[in-house]
Structure 1
Amino acid sequence: MRITGYRSLTTVHDWGRPVGDVNGVVEAGVTEVPILLLETDGGLTGVGLGQHADIARVFPAVEGEDPRAVSALYDRMLSYVFKSGHAGATYGAIAAVDMALWDLKAKMAGEPLWRTLGARDRFVPGYASGLCYGLTDEAFEAHYKQWAERGFTAAKIKGGRDVERDIHRLEIAAEVLRRNTDRPGLMLDVNECWSRKQAVRLTSEVEARIDLTWIEEPLRRWDAEGHAIVSRAIKAAVATGENLTGVDQFTPLFEAKAVDVVQTGSVWGITHFNRVAMAAHAHNLPVSPVGYDCNPVAHAAAAVPNMVGIEIQDFNFPLGLSVDQQIMDGGLVLGDRPGLGIEVDEAAITANRLSGTWSKSGGPHVRPRRAGLGLVPNGRAAAER
């Protein structure tokens, strides 16, 4: 079987609530979901998720190749673009192809990807994460009650601008989750909005009142020295890495002993997750993939020895996608459908009239101009766009 071509689709995910973080909120609660369909001469189609604007640049590296050679083709794609670099949009395209290749490999074997990757158990432990920054306290509590009803014992909230609000939200989440555990896992994600001193001072303030499991992305993703300073100054773990592209970008964090929970972005693909997980394992560190539509990296997470928990962001899936997994018992139960377990209804996607707003100006992907420069976290300057 050989790879012959590709098609690109975009569907939407209707979250049914505002979603976002300290950098911005999608009030409409509708976001776009790019889909890459990798075609073969054997009639099978591989499914990859995530933005892939640079697909035309990387596709020649895999055209005509046997899709089972996934790891070699991953390196071939990296080599194909080495002069211009592999980060950003280019890495997104490589990741979408990589995900589709793994989907094809498992489909050719007639088994779910978690089996192909060597997992023993179909259950993947997780933690709740509602992208909850734009919710009122009442909506916030109601939302996390739904996670508690599904057996979750840990939750991550979005914060960073108002520490009193963050503490209050963490207290609400803790109370909700106590139906399942006496000591809930509580994480705070500030999405790179603090300076080094802010991170130490504000996390310490949270820790004075909350048993905090980890602080996530307290600083800019590349600041290894700063993350090391924060990690040594606080009691909670420091989690970061979701926006790093390529295992090489994690090396400064490992060398500086700057990260306690190694995170990977699900949109960067299966091979990326596996390599970062093994690098973390070599440093005696746990790994945790961040959430994305359909939880595709969960199949890989089920197979690595140091996976502490996967972020799960919603109970529903994007329009036109049928996904063979269940959210229950505090995690994901992966099914037996071959590959990633994702079936694409192209007719439903084509008929859709909703538009996603994630990529519009002012969304969570746009960093505010004065992030990390405010003297008062919840002051006017900190909120300035």
Structure 2
Amino acid sequence: MSIVIVETDEGISGVGLGPHVEIERIFAAVEGEDPRAVTTLYDRMLRHTFKAGHAGPVFGTIGAIDTALWDIKAQAAGEPLWRLLGGRDRRVPAYASGLDIGLTDDELVAEYEVYASHGLRAAKLKGGLDIERDRHRLALVRDVLTEAGDGLRPGLMLDVNEAWTRKQAVRHVSEIERALDLIWIEEPVRRWDAEGHAAVGRGINASVATGENLTGLEQYRPLIAAGAVDIVQMAAVWGVTHFLRASALAHAYDLPVSPIGNSPIGLLHAATSVPNHLTSELQDLRPPVGVSVDHHVEDGAFVLADTPGLGVRVDEERIRTANRRPQAQTAESPNVRPERAGRRLLAGVDGVSARKVPVVPLNSHSEVSSTARH
């Protein structure tokens, strides 16, 4: 988990969870500025990446700084971010997402029993390599959530991380739907394939969800215009301002939105203020090492607190003593697309799935300091 901390000359710090690629160049857009002008500063950061472009982790760096600025702005106002953004209800509906493709059946059941004990009644599994295995694992989770919900039918979703062709997607999901209902299939084909997503949507009963890897409204427009997406997703690392703008675009087409991420804290606050939020991803019931968050999970929802800002605190000494280092990327890493993804004749061959972080009142003339720590 990458953490960006933005400091001000008034002693207040904001926390953003996301990358820090080219942070010196991007931070120059906000250095010395009033941090409360968040949306304007967001556009300044985009302009500072104009020639090279703002895709990928560069967009994530902009999002991390943007989230930190929203944290500062809310702390300056003495309010939790959800209330500053206009939210009325501090509860944010959630679904369980265990990133669980490597678990045995017993481990899978045990994990979702924990989710169920927190009131979760919808779950998303990783899959896409084998129809029978996906159907079996989805049924296991369905049974866990059904029992916990006293017979209430749970919601099930399947995430395949762009692993299929259009035909593979329709065939695979149609076979699963013979036995199970799916709320959505997530990223069935490549993220930019508007025609492909639309074709998949016409061939199955489940909704099509996508968007977590789209960086900018210009990438959403073709999908929405083609009727290719039913559930519009946004990744937590792309920032609060992006989420608000993409949600407004989706709302214009009567489409629901759903935040994605293992710690989508900023988007949880923002979700309370948009009319089309559906549900948010809950991966970890505990925050990363060295990070504390002032919210909890009960009755199937994140429950946000009244702490000013995001309610996130970072213990840098705890992080240092943990002495954890990122694992090196290998060809088998879930963050590396398999060489033959989408070109397998038979399911279950050479496949892999992808897995997907302060403080005092501020006076009215604060400026962002000249440093950002990451």
CA deviations on 1:282-324 (whole Å, 9 max, x unpaired) are: 0110000112226331001111100110000011111111100
CA deviations on 1:188-232 (whole Å, 9 max, x unpaired) are: 001110011000111100111101111000000000000000001
1:79 corresponds in structure 2 to 47
Paired amino acid for 1:223: D
Shift of 1:354: 2.4
1:296 is paired with a residue whose SS is: helix
CA deviations on 1:351-378 (whole Å, 9 max, x unpaired) are: 2222232755532110000001001111
Paired amino acid for 2:155: G
Paired amino acid for 1:287: V
2:229 is paired with a residue whose SS is: coil
2:4 corresponds in structure 1 to 36
Equivalent of 1:342, from 303, 307, 312? 312
Q: Check if 1:320 corresponds to 2:290.
A: yes
Equivalent of 2:234, from 256, 260, 264? 264
2:356 corresponds in structure 1 to none
In structure 2, C-alpha distance between the alignment counterparts of 1:280 and 1:294, rounded to whole Å: 19
2:258 corresponds in structure 1 to 288
Does structure 2 retain, via aligned residues, the 8 Å contact 1:289–1:311? Answer: yes
1:137 corresponds in structure 2 to 105
CA deviations on 1:37-64 (whole Å, 9 max, x unpaired) are: 1011111011111111211111111011
Q: Check if 1:151 corresponds to 2:151.
A: no
CA change 1:200–1:212 in 2 (3 A) is: same
2:212 is paired with a residue whose SS is: coil
Paired amino acid for 2:196: G
Unaligned ranges ≥5, structure 2:
354-374
Equivalent of 1:120, from 82, 88, 104? 88
CA change 1:382–1:252 in 2 (3 A) is: same
How many aligned residue pairs are there? 351
Does structure 2 retain, via aligned residues, the 8 Å contact 1:358–1:364? Answer: no
2:2 is paired with a residue whose SS is: strand
Shift of 1:349: 1.2
Q: Check if 1:310 corresponds to 2:280.
A: yes
TM-score by length of 1: 0.89
1:372 corresponds in structure 2 to 342
In structure 1, C-alpha distance between the alignment counterparts of 2:170 and 2:243, rounded to whole Å: 29
Give runs of ≥4 in structure 1 deviating > 6 Å. none
Equivalent of 2:268, from 298, 303, 315? 298
CA change 1:186–1:358 in 2 (3 A) is: farther
Unaligned ranges ≥5, structure 1:
1-32
Does structure 2 retain, via aligned residues, the 8 Å contact 1:150–1:329? Answer: yes
Does structure 2 retain, via aligned residues, the 8 Å contact 1:376–1:382? Answer: no
2:195 corresponds in structure 1 to 225
CA change 1:146–1:183 in 2 (3 A) is: same
In structure 1, C-alpha distance between the alignment counterparts of 2:328 and 2:120, rounded to whole Å: 27
1:230 is paired with a residue whose SS is: helix
Paired amino acid for 2:265: N
Does structure 2 retain, via aligned residues, the 8 Å contact 1:38–1:100? Answer: yes
CA change 1:252–1:358 in 2 (3 A) is: farther
CA deviations on 1:61-82 (whole Å, 9 max, x unpaired) are: 1011000000000011111211
Identical-pair percentage = 56
* TM alignment of 1:247-262, pairs within 5 A: 247-262=217-232
CA change 1:360–1:44 in 2 (3 A) is: farther
CA change 1:382–1:43 in 2 (3 A) is: closer
Q: Check if 1:195 corresponds to 2:165.
A: yes
In structure 1, C-alpha distance between the alignment counterparts of 2:60 and 2:264, rounded to whole Å: 17
1:111 corresponds in structure 2 to 79
**Pairwise CA RMSD of aligned residues?**
1.4
Equivalent of 1:100, from 61, 65, 68? 68
1:349 is paired with a residue whose SS is: helix
Choose between structure 1 and 2 for higher RCO, CA contacts under 8 A separated by at least 6 residues.
2
2:28 is paired with a residue whose SS is: helix
Paired amino acid for 2:291: L
1:72 is paired with a residue whose SS is: helix
In structure 2, C-alpha distance between the alignment counterparts of 1:81 and 1:124, rounded to whole Å: 33
Equivalent of 2:323, from 332, 353, 357? 353
Deviates more, 1:243-252 or 1:343-352: 343-352
CA deviations on 1:241-266 (whole Å, 9 max, x unpaired) are: 10000111100101110000000011
1:22 corresponds in structure 2 to none
Paired amino acid for 2:232: V
In structure 1, C-alpha distance between the alignment counterparts of 2:35 and 2:56, rounded to whole Å: 24
